């Protein structure tokens, strides 16, 4: 049944996302085409116009990329709220599925669309750049910046960094789900209570993370990231950050599920 729920959630917004993806890819192609024109034709009035148009296309790529991520986030939040906590919730919660499956479906759908957004932006940048050579240039520059560190620590650091990047939006969505779950307990202005809950949880997270950071060994000692000892510490802190993020996200997800299972309020 989870598969059917997920299919339903993925189909709900695919047209909106698809339009944005097509516009971004088309903008990248036009940027590439205008770039080829500028490389192969002598400068004249027409080419100057093309150059201006190319600048607009180049500027449009990051704007559209940012818009895709924002729309993915906003639409996912809106779908969770309307589908489970508003009028549609009366139907959704009568389906022969558990509350945890309803939440998990929204969670997985958000993750899939986020991965899709990253893939499309990656493809768009590669098209505009005329190929994938920019990846090699970026990788070389990135590695050069850490040339003086232990190779094993460098590999571990990048693994932790990738995991942290993947976990961050999922942790944020768990934060949102918990805020909605607590907010819907209020009999008045549930959306406002959800926003207030989000802010309160955020500040609590910051206070707790600050305390944990201060309690870490040598947290008050400055170190150079490009030295073996300093980078080893940085790698350890990155691992701690990954573990904390994972635990907090899991806890918020579980609490959200418990509240919406036992204390659901659709009135």
Ordered by start, the domain boundaries in the chain are: 7-132, 145-267
pLDDT at 187: 76
pLDDT at 68: 94
What own/partner pairs with CB < 8 Å and gap ≥ 24 does 154-160 have?
A: 154/231, 156/235, 156/239, 157/231, 157/234, 157/235, 157/238, 160/235, 160/238, 160/239, 160/241, 160/242
Q: Are 152 and 235 in contact (CB under 8 A)?
A: no
For CA atoms 218, 168, 117, 114, give the dihedral sign. positive
Taking the CA atoms of residue 85, residue 90, residue 93 and residue 99 in that order, the dihedral angle to the nearest 10 degrees is 10
pLDDT at 267: 66
Q: Which residues contact 69 (CB under 8 A, 6 or more apart)?
A: 114, 117, 121
Q: What is the pLDDT along the chain (267 residues), one digit of tens a residue?
A: 777 888 888 888 888 899 999 999 999 999 888 888 777 766 666 667 777 888 888 888 999 999 999 999 999 999 899 888 887 878 887 888 888 898 999 999 999 999 999 999 999 999 988 888 888 888 888 887 777 777 888 888 889 999 998 898 889 999 999 999 998 888 788 888 999 999 999 898 888 877 777 776 655 545 455 566 667 778 888 888 898 889 989 999 999 999 988 888 776
User: Which tens digit of pLDDT belongs to each residue from 214-244?
Assistant: 776 655 545 455 566 667 778 888 888 898 8
């Amino acid at each position: 049944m989870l598969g059917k729920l997920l299919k339903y959630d993925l189909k709900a917004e695919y047209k909106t996302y698809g339009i944005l993806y097509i516009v971004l890819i088309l903008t990248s192609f036009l940027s590439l085409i205008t770039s080829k024109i500028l490389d192969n034709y002598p400068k004249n009035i027409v080419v100057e116009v093309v150059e201006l148009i190319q600048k607009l296309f180049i500027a449009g790529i990051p704007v559209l990329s940012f818009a895709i991520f924002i729309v993915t986030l906003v639409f996912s939040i809106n779908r969770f709220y309307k589908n489970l906590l508003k009028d549609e919730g009366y139907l959704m919660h009568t389906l022969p599925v558990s509350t945890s499956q309803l939440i998990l479906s929204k969670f997985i759908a958000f993750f899939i669309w986020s991965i899709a957004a990253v893939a499309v932006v990656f493809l768009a940048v590669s098209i505009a750049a005329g190929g994938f050579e920019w990846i090699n240039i970026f990788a070389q520059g990135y590695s050069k910046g850490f040339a003086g560190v232990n190779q094993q620590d460098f590999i571990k650091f990048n693994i932790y960094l990738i995991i942290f990047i993947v976990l961050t939006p999922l942790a944020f969505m768990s934060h949102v789900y918990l805020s909605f779950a607590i907010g819907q307990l209020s009999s008045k202005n549930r959306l406002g209570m959800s926003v207030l809950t989000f802010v309160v949880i955020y500040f609590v997270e910051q206070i707790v993370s600050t305390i944990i950071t201060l309690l870490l060994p040598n947290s008050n000692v400055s170190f150079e990231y490009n030295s073996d000892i300093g980078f080893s510490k940085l790698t350890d802190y990155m691992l701690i950050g990954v573990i904390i993020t994972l635990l907090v996200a899991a806890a918020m997800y579980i609490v959200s599920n418990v509240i919406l299972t036992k204390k659901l309020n659709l009135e």
